[in-house]
């Protein structure tokens, strides 16, 4: 399954020339803010400059993917076609690996039939490929890490095993390492961490005996997170909780004339634009603070506007965020139908799992509640659903394989 999924993705990259990324706006579509930061790292400006020009240190995005991309740039050139091919191939490894964890999750909680169909669907279904082969961003990495941590949680609870054993120190160590990696890949997923950890702990026969191992996992997690926080404090002389762009995102996504999501970058991609000059002059911390203050002032008299676009974001997260108006209507309709179909069938499959008391169904339900929560209130895009899509595929397979043929009533 892994090799089939990886080779399919690699083949599409080569045949479809997806590594040929548009040159517009000085290669901004090559990784967007993460690509800019990677370029700054390679060219000697440090972790900085997420938009245009040299604007100073940044904490706009978590560091794992920009650092990975910087390594690719260092070896294969900044914004080159070869670098694009390499990073998309790495994304394809991450994406293909998801099928292994989907298989394990389904095999432990359902049965081998559901496991095989779910994993193969992820390996070869076109919608599962798109972010690995087109996007220079962290979605494939985050999806892999998230499904990996779910599989690990099931192992630690002994789900699907004849003789469940207590979670080992090595497993708790891996748990802390994975969650530290998730935090520095996509910090919004961290909302699920307390639920996941407590679910494992309270499933143990002797929870108190596990506390030392939990402390070990916590130390590993905090050490990973602490390295990034130390860097942020040295750069900004202020505590920055992983990302420092919340105020700017709230103003862009929920300020005047906002519709709940943005088509373009949060800042103009023009060095002489007054907003870009203000960002460079104030520095990122003060700029985002002021943007946040502007949003708070606006919110005091526009509660209904914020409530309305938050409901829109809820709808778009599950039904499909529309593309810009230059998208072909027929292609757009097919994309939205495909996107929405898996939301409906996946949620129905989850509800059926809860009804049938499938092991860990409650844990999966919490992931559906918590992972989208930030996006409902800040901004939304189709790619934000990607960490949940492996579970959507799994629940869809379970839903259809649980269907029973309707029995014919005997004539009376």
Q: Which residues contact 45 (CB under 8 A, 6 or more apart)?
A: 54
Asked if residue 116 is part of any domain, the answer here is no
Judgement on whether residues 176 and 197 belong to the same structural domain of the protein = yes
Q: Is the pLDDT of residue 410 over 70?
A: no
Asked if residue 190 is part of any domain, the answer here is yes
Judgement on whether residues 276 and 356 belong to the same structural domain of the protein = yes
DSSP 42-59: HTTS-SB-SSSS---B--
DSSP 274-330: HHHHHHHHH-HHHHHHHHHHHHHHHHTT-HHHHHHHHHHHHHHHHH-PPPPTTS-HH
pLDDT (tens digit per residue) in 119-155 = 999 999 999 999 999 999 999 999 999 999 999 999 9
Judgement on whether residues 270 and 388 belong to the same structural domain of the protein = yes
Judgement on whether residues 252 and 234 belong to the same structural domain of the protein = no
Asked if residue 361 is part of any domain, the answer here is yes
Judgement on whether residues 226 and 337 belong to the same structural domain of the protein = no
Please say whether the beta carbons of 160 and 186 come within 8 A. no
Number of CB atoms found within 10 A of residue 83's CB: 24
The residue from 220, 240, 260 where one domain ends is 240
What average pLDDT score do residues 30-38 get? Answer: 97
Judgement on whether residues 395 and 301 belong to the same structural domain of the protein = yes
pLDDT (tens digit per residue) in 269-326 = 899 999 999 999 999 999 999 999 999 999 999 999 999 999 999 999 999 877 665 5
Grade residue 263 by pLDDT with cuts at 50, 70 and 90. low
Asked if residue 104 is part of any domain, the answer here is no
Q: Which residues contact 73 (CB under 8 A, 6 or more apart)?
A: 38, 39, 41, 42, 79, 83
Judgement on whether residues 171 and 192 belong to the same structural domain of the protein = yes
Query: pTM for this structure?
Result: 0.95
State how far the Cα of 82 lies from the Cα of 352, in Å rounded to an integer: 46
β-partners of residue 174 are none
Grade residue 407 by pLDDT with cuts at 50, 70 and 90. low
pLDDT (tens digit per residue) in 210-256 = 999 999 999 999 999 999 999 999 999 999 989 999 999 999 989 88
What is the span of the domain harbouring residue 185? 166-240
Judgement on whether residues 249 and 236 belong to the same structural domain of the protein = no
Judgement on whether residues 234 and 175 belong to the same structural domain of the protein = yes
Please say whether the beta carbons of 336 and 320 come within 8 A. yes
The residue from 183, 214, 240 where one domain ends is 240
Judgement on whether residues 257 and 360 belong to the same structural domain of the protein = yes
Judgement on whether residues 259 and 387 belong to the same structural domain of the protein = yes
Grade residue 412 by pLDDT with cuts at 50, 70 and 90. very low
User: What does the CA dihedral 315, 187, 125, 328 come to, rounded to 10 degrees?
Assistant: 50
Asked if residue 233 is part of any domain, the answer here is yes
Asked if residue 22 is part of any domain, the answer here is no
Asked if residue 188 is part of any domain, the answer here is yes
Please say whether the beta carbons of 84 and 372 come within 8 A. no
Residue 259, CB half-sphere, CA atoms under 13 Å: how many? 8
Q: Which residues contact 123 (CB under 8 A, 6 or more apart)?
A: 1, 2, 4, 5, 8, 96, 99
| Count of domains forming the chain | 2
Judgement on whether residues 300 and 317 belong to the same structural domain of the protein = yes
Q: Is the pLDDT of residue 207 over 70?
A: yes
What average pLDDT score do residues 379-405 get? Answer: 94
The residue from 202, 217, 240 where one domain ends is 240
């Amino acid at each position: 399954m892994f090799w089939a999924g990886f080779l399919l993705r690699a083949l599409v990259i080569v045949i479809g020339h997806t590594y040929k990324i548009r040159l517009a706006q000085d290669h901004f579509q090559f990784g967007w803010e993460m690509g800019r930061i990677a370029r700054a790292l390679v060219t000697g400006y440090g972790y900085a400059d997420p938009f245009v020009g040299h604007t100073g240190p940044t904490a706009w995005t978590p560091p794992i993917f920009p650092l990975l991309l910087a390594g690719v740039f260092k070896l294969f050139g900044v914004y080159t076609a070869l670098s694009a091919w390499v990073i998309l191939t790495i994304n394809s490894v991450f994406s293909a690996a998801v099928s292994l964890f989907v298989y394990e999750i389904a095999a432990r909680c359902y049965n081998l039939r559901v496991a095989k169909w779910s994993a193969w669907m992820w390996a070869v279904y076109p919608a599962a490929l798109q972010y690995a082969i087109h996007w220079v961003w962290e979605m494939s990495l985050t999806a892999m890490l998230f499904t990996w941590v779910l599989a690990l949680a099931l192992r630690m609870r002994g789900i699907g095993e004849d003789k469940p054993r207590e979670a080992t120190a090595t497993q708790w160590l891996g748990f802390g390492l994975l969650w530290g990696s998730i935090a520095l890949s996509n910090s919004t997923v961290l909302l699920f961490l307390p639920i996941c950890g407590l679910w494992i702990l309270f499933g143990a026969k002797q929870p108190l005996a596990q506390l030392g191992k939990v402390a070990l996992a916590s130390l590993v997690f905090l050490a990973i997170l602490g390295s990034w926080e130390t860097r942020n404090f040295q750069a900004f002389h202020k505590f920055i909780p992983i990302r420092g762009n919340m105020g700017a995102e709230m103003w862009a996504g929920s300020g005047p004339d906002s519709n709940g999501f943005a088509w373009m970058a949060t800042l103009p991609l023009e060095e002489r634009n007054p907003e870009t000059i203000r960002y460079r002059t104030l520095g990122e911390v003060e700029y985002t603070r002021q943007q946040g203050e502007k949003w708070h002032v606006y919110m005091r008299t526009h509660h209904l506007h914020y409530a309305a676009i938050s409901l829109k974001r809820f709808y778009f997260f599950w039904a499909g965020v529309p593309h810009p108006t230059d998208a072909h209507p027929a292609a757009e309709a097919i994309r939205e139908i495909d996107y929405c179909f898996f939301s409906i069938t996946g949620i129905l499959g989850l509800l059926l799992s809860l009804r049938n008391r499938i092991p860990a169904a409650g844990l999966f339900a919490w992931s559906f509640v918590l992972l989208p929560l930030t996006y409902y209130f800040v901004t939304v895009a189709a790619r934000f659903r990607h960490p949940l899509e492996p579970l959507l595929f799994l629940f869809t397979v379970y839903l259809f394989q649980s269907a029973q043929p309707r029995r014919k009533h005997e004539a009376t």
